[in-house]
Amino acid sequence: MATVTVPTSRTRTAPRLLKNRAAGKLLLLGLVTAVLLPLLHGGPWPDDLTVSLDKPLATASDWVIDNRDSHPVFLYFLGHVSNAVIWAVRAVYLALLTAGWAGVTVLGALTAWRFGGARLAAGTAAAFLACGALGMWVPTMQTLALMVVAVLASVAVGALLGLGAGLSDRLDRALRPVLDTMQVLPAFAYLLPVVLVFGIGVPAAVLATVVYAAPPMARLTALGLRGADPEVLEAVESLGATRRQRLLTARIPLARKELLLGLNQTIMMALSMAVIAAVIGAGGLGDRVYQALASVDVGAALAAGIPIVLLAVVLDRVTAAAGDGTTRPRTIGWPYAVAVTVAVALAARLLGALDWPAGWTLGIAEPVNRAVDWMTAHLYSGVPVIGGTADWAGHFTTWILDPVRDGLLWLPWWSVLLLVAALAWLIGTWRTALTAVLAMAAIGVLGVWEPSLDTLSQVLAAVAVTLVLGFATGVAAARSDRVDRALRPVLDVFQTMPQFVYLIPVVALFGVGRAPAVAAAVVYALPAVVRITAQGLRQVDQAALESARSLGATGRQQLWQVQLPLARRALLLAVNQGVVLVLAVVIIGGLVGGGALGYDVAFGLAQGDLATGLVAGAAIVCLGLMLDRVTQPTDRRPRKGA
């Protein structure tokens, strides 16, 4: 009986203990502050606590530029990497051009047919033709060529790392925190270090893409190898398999689903990054969007943005279909597919129709710009009763963004650290709290306290809006199958689109500034929050829900007393994901007038002032770390109702 009574007494005292512990943590933090208070003074981060990195960074960047053609590290290693990347991208690009638009479309359609059936094939062909019709065939092929090389490299690197982590516990322990952290960092933070080494251009773009896209492959490979059914592995071992046989005949085939999911995620992240890398010379579709946004030419941005979305949807659906695992009737073998492609490409070449025919291009930039002009004239402001979109943006800026930013800057710097510590400690452990405080302090030390708090204010505002909308929609989707069904295709498309694309519609609607950046962030983060919330609520123990219903609980009571408390972990995860995704887009918002850290990075790149950009990039990393750790729940907390 002793073993029975111990856990019950523990569960009974758990809530009180928890409260006490929370109060204790706050008390301890308060004590520390009270002791240190006389030594501290208010206001923003004091100058004497900053370390200026401008000089050393400028020196380092100058040194790299001076020695890029002479130093052995560049000559014998990085130079080769750079050349190999250029060579590979060019080879793929030329191959795509040689196949011609007809050949590429046919190959794409046949591949889609092979994996997903006729409907997917038709969709793929339509998507490729649409890219051509929008006059974006060449930039699409440029982006595709860069993608192919980056994805192949990411998959190779990721699979190797994942294989190591899947087979060795030590490597897994070492790699996991690194990969976890890389996953939460905004794409923008990766740009500057590679530019420092490789300079602006295709090699830097490809390598930034590989660094950004390889982690999911590594994570999922390791996960798949580790998650194999232990009884199957035991059965394989009981038959006397060697380690090698076990890996090749059991572990890798059993991880097929995870491997293909990793491939899918890597492709999606690579596309997202390949577009953003336009800022560092990737060319292609991203560059067109970037140039168009810089001159607020929404029509041109849209003409380049639509192919990006189409490419994203097609790549996602085809790889997802490949990873589906269900066996389909064989449609077409690879040899036939290749043969048909070659035949079509040759036919196109003989007919002299390799390039997209000029007469088939649909100029959408003009009409779109006219529509945007009309919107500017009629919807931006002065619409009776509801006001205009620009009015909303202005009100949002003056009534929410400005007060939050000013409030954060008004707070004494040490109280910001204290807030971060208290939040992180209450939600997580002292470890996460320590990381968060150190990251925040590092921002101050780097001397970018004010722009970072500006970014933080945008993130906070966007997260608040995202969570209110996301939780409400998520609850609705969890409670009604009809809402869920209606939302699903929308969420599917929104989740596959690269971050960059979201800037186009918000610029059309709200102009430039901080409010549009926040709006883009909200739209980008919303699907993930809705999905996690709805899933978490739906996965609540049905027996608990049924028992509540049998006791006569109303729908509202079920939601507040059963579903939401039991889905607590999912809700915290939704907050964490929301924060990470919002940050990524708020940073990119620097390109459309969001200012703050994102602007510093873009400015540094544009002016060749790498020192400013690198410091801002480091601050982004710190901010990302801090935000992730503050919202990271841990497993160590006693679970309620256990």
Site residues, another protein (CB under 8 A): 229, 231-232, 234-242, 245, 249-250, 253-254, 256, 327
Asked whether the beta carbons of 322 and 115 are under 8 A apart, the reply is: yes
Rounded to whole angstroms, how far apart are CA atoms 278 and 288? Answer: 8
Asked whether the beta carbons of 150 and 206 are under 8 A apart, the reply is: yes
Nearest to 97 by CA among 137, 126, 135: 137
* Min CB(14)–another protein separation in Å: 23
DSSP 357: P
Rounded to whole angstroms, how far apart are CA atoms 106 and 118? Answer: 13
- Could you tell me the CA-to-CA distances from 192 to 123, 174, 603, 612, 616 in Å, in that order? 37, 25, 11, 10, 9
* Min CB(324)–another protein separation in Å: 14
Residue with Cβ nearer another protein (5 or 295): 5
* Min CB(328)–another protein separation in Å: 14
Residue with Cβ nearer another protein (237 or 391): 237
* Min CB(327)–another protein separation in Å: 8
Structure tokens at 433: 């709290």
State the number of CA atoms in the 13 A half-sphere of 358 facing the CB: 0
Rounded to whole angstroms, how far apart are CA atoms 418 and 414? Answer: 6
Residue with Cβ nearer another protein (259 or 588): 259
Rounded to whole angstroms, how far apart are CA atoms 211 and 304? Answer: 25
Please list, residue by residue across 541-564, b when 16 or more beta carbons sit within 10 angstroms of its beta carbon and e when fewer do.
eeeebeebeeeebeeeebbeebbb
Residue with Cβ nearer another protein (235 or 383): 235
Residue with Cβ nearer another protein (26 or 232): 232
Rounded to whole angstroms, how far apart are CA atoms 640 and 642? Answer: 5
* Min CB(603)–another protein separation in Å: 52
Q: Which residue has the tokens 């480091």?
A: 618
Residue with Cβ nearer another protein (243 or 378): 243
Run of H or E including 460: helix 449-479
Asked whether the beta carbons of 592 and 516 are under 8 A apart, the reply is: yes
* Min CB(325)–another protein separation in Å: 9
Secondary structure (3-state) at 332: coil
Residue with Cβ nearer another protein (72 or 325): 325
* Min CB(254)–another protein separation in Å: 7
| SS3 annotation, 29-62 | HHHHHHHHHHHCCCCCCCHHHCCCCHHHHHHHHH
Nearest to 221 by CA among 192, 275, 249, 258: 258
Residue with Cβ nearer another protein (39 or 239): 239
* Min CB(236)–another protein separation in Å: 8
Residue with Cβ nearer another protein (18 or 235): 235
Q: Which residue has the tokens 């009309």?
A: 374
* Min CB(317)–another protein separation in Å: 23
Residue with Cβ nearer another protein (90 or 256): 256
* Min CB(4)–another protein separation in Å: 13
Nearest to 267 by CA among 103, 429, 150, 160: 150
Residue with Cβ nearer another protein (253 or 638): 253
* Min CB(333)–another protein separation in Å: 19
